[in-house]
Structure 1
Amino acid sequence: MRNFTIQHIDHIVLRVKDMERSLAFYTSVLGCELRKRRDDLGMLHLGTGVSMIDLVDVEGPLGRPGGPAADKQRRNVDHFCLRIEPFDEAAILAHLASNGVEAEKAQVRYGAQGQGPSIYCLDPDGNQIELKGPAQEP
């Protein structure tokens, strides 16, 4: 039996060719707010209400492993993140394993509400999903 419920999408991560052009689009055109800049990772965190859109430079440390920029044959979304409650790592991992889903142990990662625990797993099509618990700090 599942022991958590999805609260909302925490964030999505988009791989982009031109960070400044994308930043201008998401902030000026869509009204997102630049919350955090991670130049060491080639990443920008943009606020979108209670959620976030993360932009990752395809030529940066996080973007390079994903290969060339997206086109009609290549995907552009790295993963999506679902905010869940409660976050009981052992119970979540046991639930996933009982359904044949491999997952890594929880790590503290930055999300829309701050640093908090999360677990990565894959859906049947190989799409990466992050299951994120509550923030430990804002």
Structure 2
Amino acid sequence: MTLDKEAATVTAPTLGLELDHIVLVAQDVERTVAFYTDILGGTPHRLAEWRSGSALYPSVLFGPWKINIHPAETPAAPRAVSPRAGAADFCLRFPRPVAEAIELLTNANVPIVHGPAKEECAREWRTSVYFRDPDGCLVEFACELEEGP
């Protein structure tokens, strides 16, 4: 099921924009990188360079996009006006049933703070669960929609 067809027509991606990366500020960069790699399956990028001081921050790759993990005191510029750890709230499409997302989080001892719940996403309705990363950012897994009888 798609969302409002009129809205979908009006908001067609006429510029062809796609997400390239997001930036998260972390109090403990190592812990945050480990969370997004070990639990969510990303691939660390420039971690060794960051550890040696030759990169300002590491990243975690997820296919065609990435998360840049900025230390709270990073000199990286430009920056958001008020960058701080735990301030982000974002949604990741989880291309499987919600039961698999719950199992993944439960096995990793990551508490679910909300859901499962039916949520409106960018392209359609999905079944979502919400959890927090080590800095308190709210992360949503938008899973395949499960309709009841």
- With normalisation by structure 1, the TM-score equals 0.42
More helix by percentage: 2
Structure number with larger C-alpha Rg: 2
More strand by percentage: 1
- With normalisation by structure 2, the TM-score equals 0.39
